[in-house]
Each structure stands twice: as C-alpha cells, then as structure tokens.
Amino acid sequence: MVPSGRLYLLLLLGMAIAIALSDIFNVEVGILAALVFDAVILGLMAIDGLQARRNRVEVSRHPLGRLSIGRENPVTLSVKSGNHPVQIQVCDNYPRDFWASKPLLETLLPANTTQEFTYNVSPSQRGEFAWGDIQVRQLSPWGLAWADWKVTQSQKVAVYPDLVGLRSLSIRLTLQNTGTMRQSRRQGIGTEFAELREYRLGDDPRLVDWKATARKLGAIPTASLQVRVLEPEQEQTLIILLDRGRLMTARVKGLKRFDWGLNTTLSLALAGLSRGDKVGVGVFDKEVTTWIPPRYLPFCVTLRDPLVDAIASSPTADVKGAYSRAVALDLLAQRQVAFARLQQKGVLVLDAPADRISEQLVDRYLRLKTRNQL
C-alpha cells in the first residue's frame, strides 16, 4: 500500500491537535493525543487498504502485433471494475526507448464497468524489444491509501519497417488498379491496349478507334466515338539500390537515414510488384553486395534533411549561427551541383524530405510508368 494525500493531511491534522492540547494542558498530553490519533488513522488506512485489495480491478493488455518504426502504433488496455466505483492509475511498462502519448493513464471507473484505454507508442529503431508488466494503483474506498500491484503481461515485441505505411499504400494501389481511381491512372499514354470506351471531353483525338466507331454507328446510329484505352507496359525490370554506409546511420526526424531508405525501398517495391514489374533490390556500403545491371531509365533518390533547410533559411545574430548557416548553404549548393551533373547525363533526380520521400517516390514512379518512360 502507498499512503495517499488525504492520509498525509490527516497526519498533519494530528500534529495540529497535539500543538493545541499542549497549549491547553501540557506537552505530554499533546504528544499522547497525537500518537493515539495517528495510530487510529494508520489503523483505518490498513482496513481501507484491505478493502481495496478485495475490490481490485482487472487489467489486461490487448495482444501486441508487429509494430512499425517511426509510426504511432496504438496500444489498448482493458480495465474491468467490481461492485464499487474506483479511481485508478495505470502505467504500462513499454520499452523506454519508445515515445508514448500517455505514459500514465488515470480515470474514475464506475462500478461493474469495462472500459478500454488506448495510447500510442512510436519506436525509433527496428529490432526486438522487451515489454514489461502493467503497474496498477487503485485508491481505497475511504481514500487513505493506494493499493499497488503488477499485472503480469511481459512479452517480446518486434519492430519492423513501416508496415502501416505499406498497408495504406497497398489499399491505394488496389483502388488504382480496380476501384474509383482507375481513370486517373489511365490519363497518360501507355503502350498496351486495355479496352474501348466512349469518347470523353479531354481525351486525345489520336486515340479514337475509327473502325470500332464505324461498327458501333452501324449498330447504333446515335453512338459516340470509341476511344482506345492504353496502359503502361507490364513486366518491366525495376532495380532498387539501398545505401547502408556510415552516413546512413545519421538520424533525421528521429529515425536513421537507412530506416527512411528501407521504408522507401519497400514502398517502391510494392508499387512495382502491383504493376506486374520484376523488382530487384540491392544493398551496399563500401562494396556492392548485390548487383543487377539496370536496363531502364536511371533514377536517383536522395533524402533531404529539413534541419539543414531550416538552418540555411534562418537569420543569424552571432558568429556561431552565421558559421552554421554558411555550412548549411554550402551543403545545399553542393547538392544542387551534383543534381545538375546527374541531370545532364540523363538521370532523373528526386530530392525529398525524409518523412515524405516514400509517397513522393511512388507518385513519381507511377507517373513515369504512365508516360512510358521506363
């Protein structure tokens, strides 16, 4: 049991009583009265704590699945009360390297009620982590003590790349393939015939199928022009190279650059596979561990650190700030020179912030597919 604030106030009241009786009678009477008062209060606390133990709430954690790095992953706790309303505090022992939205959950739970409480955790690195037990405190009926105990819920939890982002991307790609977003995917010019449909405002006149239109008009005199719908070529080869060198260990917005690159690699691979392409992935540092010669348009993707942009665009008031800004501006200038050289050699370049690179890369890739540039 842990003493409550109310108990401490009552013990202070006992001291005040002792002082008052000492002034009226003598010091011995005051001390004796304080000891008797405190003994009664502590006895009541023990009785009150026993009542809390008999009326403990039931606490459990919903099973934890695979967590995604850099994402807010929901964790749900279920609390069931007994025959009396209770005030409780619940602390889940998540890994201390994780960020949590609500480290301590507090609530007043009505009698015979089951409630669920959800908080979010955000891991900053991949791997396997130990998740501890649940610490519970319940205020006794008279409010004199907190009953304190642990609920055994320890387990091992695996943190993977951004599975949440991949899941949402998978849904989006499915909609583009079969749902309401199909039309926007077909706005470009592909190479493979998909279907015939009626002419719509904005369609390319070169795609009108005059033979099909003539056959349609022969059967239905009021029929509209027929347009050929073309889709990008399938079963192309997509090679993805991921750097795992020393510079990729630096952190950007809480994650290593390599983790941002890994999330992006998986997103782009998923987009390619959903389009029927053959996807190859190579990971390298000082040496290339896997190499498949590329036979498509070279595409260079770089991670942009928002902190460097912020330093470069911020006014300075001292020598140290001016030096930092000069370094940031020099880094940005060197990047632009490197990008220009790549573009002169026919390489496409995408330079995007780390937390937005997956989305921008997939969008750029799909546009290239639509325009038949791969």
> pLDDT tens for residues 6-51?
888 888 888 888 888 888 888 888 888 888 888 888 888 888 888 8
Domain boundaries, the chain: 2-54, 58-160, 192-231, 235-370
Residue 100 — pLDDT band, cuts 50, 70, 90?
A: very high
Q: Is 310 helix (H, G, I), strand (E, B) or coil?
A: helix
Q: In sequence order, what are the beta bridge partners of 147?
A: 138
CB contact burial 78-106 (16+ within 10 A = b; e otherwise):
ebebeeeebebebbbebbeebebeeeebe
Residue 183 — φ and ψ, nearest 5°?
-60, -40
Over 60: is that where the pLDDT of 266 sits?
A: yes
Report pLDDT for 151. 92
Rounded Cα gap, residues 216 and 226, in angstroms? 8
Report pLDDT for 187. 46
Report pLDDT for 183. 47
Tokens of 101: 């939205």
Report pLDDT for 77. 93
DSSP 152-168: ---EEEEEES-HHHHHH
* Rounded percentage of the chain residues whose pLDDT exceeds 70: 88
Assigned CATH topology for domain 58-160: Immunoglobulin-like (2.60.40)
Q: Which residue has the higher pLDDT, 75 or 6?
A: 75
Among 164-173, 217-226, 263-272, name the one with the lowest average pLDDT. 164-173
> Which of 101-115, 185-199, 285-299 has the highest average model confidence (pLDDT)?
101-115
Q: Which residue has the higher pLDDT, 24 or 99?
A: 99
Over 80: is that where the pLDDT of 331 sits?
A: yes
Residue 90 — pLDDT band, cuts 50, 70, 90?
A: very high
Among 89-98, 108-117, 127-136, 158-167, name the one with the lowest average pLDDT. 158-167
Report pLDDT for 89. 92
Average pLDDT on 118-131 reads: 91
Integer angstrom CA distances of residue 146 from 92, 106, 169, 186, 218: 17, 13, 47, 65, 87
Q: For 125-180, write each residue's pLDDT tens digit.
A: 888 999 999 999 999 888 888 888 999 989 999 998 887 677 777 767 766 665 44
Average pLDDT on 254-267 reads: 86
Q: Which residue has the higher pLDDT, 139 or 183?
A: 139
Rounded Cα gap, residues 92 and 131, in angstroms? 9
Tokens of 53: 């133990």
Rounded Cα gap, residues 206 and 209, in angstroms? 8
Over 80: is that where the pLDDT of 181 sits?
A: no
Among 249-258, 266-275, 293-302, name the one with the lowest average pLDDT. 293-302
Tokens of 44: 């009541």
Report pLDDT for 182. 47
Report pLDDT for 233. 61
Report pLDDT for 22. 82
Report pLDDT for 27. 83
Report pLDDT for 229. 78
Report pLDDT for 94. 92
Q: Which of 75, 103, 73 is nearest to 90 (CA)?
A: 103
Over 50: is that where the pLDDT of 184 sits?
A: no
β pairing state of 86-92 and 134-139: antiparallel
Among 137-146, 233-242, 308-317, name the one with the lowest average pLDDT. 233-242
Report pLDDT for 191. 58
111 CB burial (10 A radius; 0-12, 13-18, 19+): exposed
Among 77-81, 93-97, 127-131, 357-361, name the one with the lowest average pLDDT. 357-361
Q: Is 220 helix (H, G, I), strand (E, B) or coil?
A: coil
